[in-house]
């Protein structure tokens, strides 16, 4: 990488999952610009499926995320089961 300093032992996380996580964070900020009581946690459909019902969640439907061509299934952890 041009201009990057190499640090031995440093780890870099790249890929689609990190991109989706960043886009979900931006979506969360747009959904509620003034933070409500508690913290919202948004999940994509694949992550929600992996939870297999172990945590209560609410589907927000298929939403467009910035920088993504296709809509993504979005869920939020539901603090009130």
Please tell me the predicted confidence (pLDDT) of residue 50.
93
Per-residue pLDDT of the chain (81 residues; tens, 9 = 90+): 455 555 666 666 668 888 899 999 888 888 876 655 456 789 999 999 999 889 999 899 999 998 888 999 999 888 665
In this prediction the pTM is 0.71
- Burial (CB count <10 Å: 0-12, 13-18, 19+), residue 48: buried
Token pair recorded at residue 41: 């946690």
Handedness of CA 27, 32, 59, 13 (dihedral sign): positive
24: left (phi over 0), alpha (psi -120 to 50) or beta: alpha
Q: What is the chain's length? A: 81
Looking at residue 43, its pLDDT comes to: 92
pLDDT at 6 (0 to 100): 58
């Amino acid at each position: 990488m041009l201009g990057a300093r190499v640090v031995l032992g440093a780890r870099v996380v790249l890929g689609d999952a990190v991109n989706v996580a960043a886009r979900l964070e931006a979506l969360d900020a747009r959904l509620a610009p003034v933070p409500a009581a508690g913290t919202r946690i948004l999940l994509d459909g694949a992550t929600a499926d992996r939870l297999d019902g172990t945590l209560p969640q609410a589907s927000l439907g298929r939403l467009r995320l910035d920088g993504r061509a296709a809509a993504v299934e979005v869920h939020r952890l539901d603090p009130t089961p």
